[in-house]
A = this chain, B = another copy of it.
Amino acid sequence: MSYIALADRQRRINHLQHVEAIASWDEAAMMPAGGGPNRAEALATLRVLCHELACDPRVGDEIAAADAGAQALEPWQRANLREIKRAHVRETAVPTALIEAGSLAESRCEQAWRQLRAKNDLATFLPLLEVVVANKRQVASALSDRLGLGLYDALLDGFEPGARAAALDPLFADLRRFLPPFIAEVVERQKARPVIVPQGPFPIERQRWLGLAIMKQVGFDFEHGRLDVSHHPFCGGVPRDVRITTRYDETDFTKSFMGVLHETGHAKYEQGLPPAWIDQPVGRARSMAVHESQSLLQEMQVSRSPAFLEFVTPFVREAFPDRVAAQPDAFTVENLTRHYTRVKPDFIRVDADEATYPCHVILRYEIERRLIEGSLEVKQIPEAWNASMKELLGVDVGNDHKNGCMQDVHWPAGLFGYFPTYTLGALAAAQLFAAARRGLPGLEEGIARGEFAPLNDWLRTHLWSQASFLETDALMTGATGRPLDATAFKDHLAARYL
C-alpha cells in the first residue's frame, strides 16, 4: 500500500510536470514577449506545488514502508521506488523559497536573454545571470550538504545520476590532449577538398518542408509530436506529445536541417518510452547523457554519414530546385557529405562539427564548475570564455558576445551541470552505434535506402523501452557489452576523418 501511495502521488506530480513542460515549451515557442512576467510567476508557482507534493511529510514513512516490502514488488516497481527515492532526496534537500526564487530568476533571465542576445547586450544580461548563479550556488550548497557530494557534482548528478567531476576530469583531459592535434590534422587534410557552400536564399517554408519530410522518414511520430520555432532549439513536451524546435537561417539550410535531426533523435527516445510507465519516474528517459546519446547518434553517427546523405540528398534537391539549378555541384551527395564532415573551429556550439564539439563542452564545463564553486564570478565569464575559445579552438570572440558567452540558453535557464552530458552523450552515441552495427549487418546499406526501422527497433529494444529501469552503466553494458568509455568515439573520429 505504501508503494501505491507513492506511485499515486508521483502520477499527480507527473501530471503537473506535464503541464509545466507544455507551458515551458509554449513560453519558448509561442508566447508573445508581453506574456513573460505573468508566465514566470505562474511557472514558479507550479514548480513550488510540485516541490510541496514531493516533500509531503508522509513520503518519508511511505518510502521506508515500501522499502521494507520491496521484495513483494515487481522489478519495474522496485526500479520505480529507487527513482522515487532519488528524486525525493534531491527535492527535500532544497528549501521551497530557493525553488521559487530560482524559477523566477531563470524565467526572467531566459526571457530577457532572447532579446539581449540579439542585441549583443552583455551589460544588461550579466546582472540577470548573476541572480540565477547566486541562487544556483545556494541550491548546490543545499544539495551538497544532503548528498555528501561536491558543489558541482551535486548539480551534475541531477542530469546524470552517478556522474562525478572526478571522472570527467581525466576524460576531458584526455580529449584536451587528443583533439587539438587531431583537429589540426583534419583541417589540413580537408584543405585539399574544399566544400562548395550552397548559396541561398532558402525560404523558411521550404526548409520546414524538408525538416518535416526527413523527420517522417527517420521515424518521428507526428501523432505524438510536432516541430516549431524557438530562439534556441530544444526538445520539450512529454513522451506522448514531444515538441521539438529549430531556428531557420535563410542563407543556410544546413543548420536547421541538422538541428532538426538532432532534436528528432531526442524525440524518438521520448516517443519510444514505455506507455505503461508514462506517469512514473521509472518511465522517464534514463539521464541526459543517454538522451544526448540519442540525439547525437541520430545527428553525428547517422546523419553525417555518406549513407544517410545518399538517402536524403534527393529530398534536399526537391526542397530547393532553383538553388540546385543555380549551383548543381553544391547539391551532390559528395559535396553535402563533405560539408557535414567539415571540421572547422568556430563560434557556435550547436552548429559545431563533431571534432570541435567537445572543445565547446569542455570550455563550458570548466567555466560553470568554477562559477558554482565560487572561484569565478559572473562578470568574469566573458574574459574566461574568450580566453578558452582562443586556447581550445583558436577563435577570437572579441566583443561578439552573442556568438560567445551569450550563445546558449542553458545558463540563463539555470541548467548548470548539464553541459558535460553532451560529451558523455557523444561517447555513448559512438559506442551504441558501433554495437548496433555489429548487431545489424547491412545497417548502413539500409540507411542509404532510407530503411531506419532496423536501427530504431534496436534502439527501442536496448534503450527506449528500458526508460529508467536500469542505471546508466547497466544500460550501456546491456546494449554494448561494456560501460561507457571514449574508445568508440575516438575510433569513430579516426575512421571518419583520417
Query: Using a CB–CB distance below 8 Å, which chain A residues touch chain B?
Result: 11-12, 14-16, 18-20, 22-23, 26, 30-35, 37-39, 41-46, 49, 221-226, 237-241, 278-279
Contacts and interface: CB of A to CB of B under 8 A. Distances in A.
17 contacts: A12-B49, A15-B45, A16-B42, A18-B38, A18-B39, A18-B42, A19-B19, A19-B42, A22-B22, A22-B26, A30-B226, A32-B225, A34-B221, A34-B224, A35-B224, A38-B238, A38-B241
Contacts of A30: 30, 226
Nearest to A222: B32
Contact of A12 (B19, B45, B225): B45
Nearest to A31: B241
A477 B26 CA distance: 40
A159 B37 CA distance: 28
Contacts of A49: 12, 16, 49
Contact of A19 (B11, B20, B31): B20
Contacts of A225: 32
Contacts of A22: 22-23, 26, 39
Nearest to A35: B241
A45 B44 CA distance: 18
B15 A46 contact: yes
A222 B33 CA distance: 9
A12 to B, nearest CB: 5
Nearest to A46: B19
Contacts of A239: 38
B238 A32 contact: no
Nearest to A240: B38
Nearest to A37: B240
A14 B31 CA distance: 18
Given A31-B241, A34-B223, A38-B240, 20 more contacts: A12-B45, A12-B49, A15-B45, A16-B49, A18-B38, A18-B42, A19-B23, A19-B42, A22-B23, A22-B39, A30-B226, A32-B222, A32-B223, A32-B224, A34-B224, A34-B240, A35-B241, A37-B240, A38-B278, A41-B279
